[in-house]
Amino acid sequence: MFHKEGFTIIRNTLTALIALNTSAWYFAGEFNWMVNLLLFTSLVFAVLVLQFFRNPKRNTVLNPNHIIAPADGKVVVIEEVVEHEYFKDKRIQVSIFMSPLNVHVNRYPISGAVKYAKYHAGKFLVAWHPKSSIENERTTIVVENETAGPILFRQVAGAVARRIMMYSKAEDKAVQGKDMGFIKFGSRIDLFLPLDAKINADIDDVVKGGETIVATR
């Protein structure tokens, strides 16, 4: 299954590759080594595009005490920081880096009411840069429920990512594990959790969006 954000790109990519290889075969001949190299390269490129937009089904177990990973990737930051945009106080930041090979669907970490949703234009520093969370193109979403409390998470574009899709709007009803957005071609997601949250992840852990429990309340 492929994500809706990839339908147009997949269609255009496959159409262009088929046209390119058909033309090369017609004009250069079926057994020309350059045509065979082009065909192999095109197949590899097509596979990379298809795998990037894959949208595997995830078995989310709804639990108001669990804060689940909003994306696939590797945990690269766990630290106490001051969150300046919404809370303006200290929080535990947990950051997940998504490489171009990861699934790039972004999911709600908890269920509840969307209290805040905002897009920010910005730079395209590498996603692991310390200032990428406040200077890069990004979104900020806050979801609140009675158990986990308000949780802020932020989609952050990287050096390769050039488009963030955010589906959240203020007053929407968030459902844990359901799609809330998509980032195209490399990025990270930051979670800002209450100081009393119990962190269940470690640096370099590989997490699965919609399933891995990164913290509990």
Task: Indicate whether 194 and 134 sit together in one domain.
Answer: yes
Residue 120 in any domain: the answer is: yes
The CATH code of the domain that includes 137 is: 2.70.70
pTM to 2 decimals?
0.81
Catalytic machinery residues: 187
CA 191/CA 66 separation, integer angstroms: 13
Task: Indicate whether 71 and 103 sit together in one domain.
Answer: yes
Q: Which residue has the tokens 């079926």?
A: 30
Task: Indicate whether 73 and 11 sit together in one domain.
Answer: no
Task: Indicate whether 91 and 183 sit together in one domain.
Answer: yes
Residue 117 in any domain: the answer is: yes
pLDDT confidence tier of residue 5, bands split at 50, 70 and 90: confident
| Relative orientation angle of helices 33-52 and 7-28, to the nearest 10 degrees | 170
Task: Indicate whether 105 and 179 sit together in one domain.
Answer: yes
* Per-residue model confidence (pLDDT) at position 104: 83
Which domain covers residue 39, as residue numbers? Answer: 4-52
Domain count of the fold of the chain:
2
Find all residues with CB under 8 Å of 110, minimum gap 6, and list them: 64, 66, 67, 68, 143, 145, 148, 151, 174, 176
Give the pLDDT confidence of 28-85 residue by residue, as tens digits.
Answer: 776 677 888 888 898 898 888 887 788 888 999 999 999 999 999 999 999 999 999 9
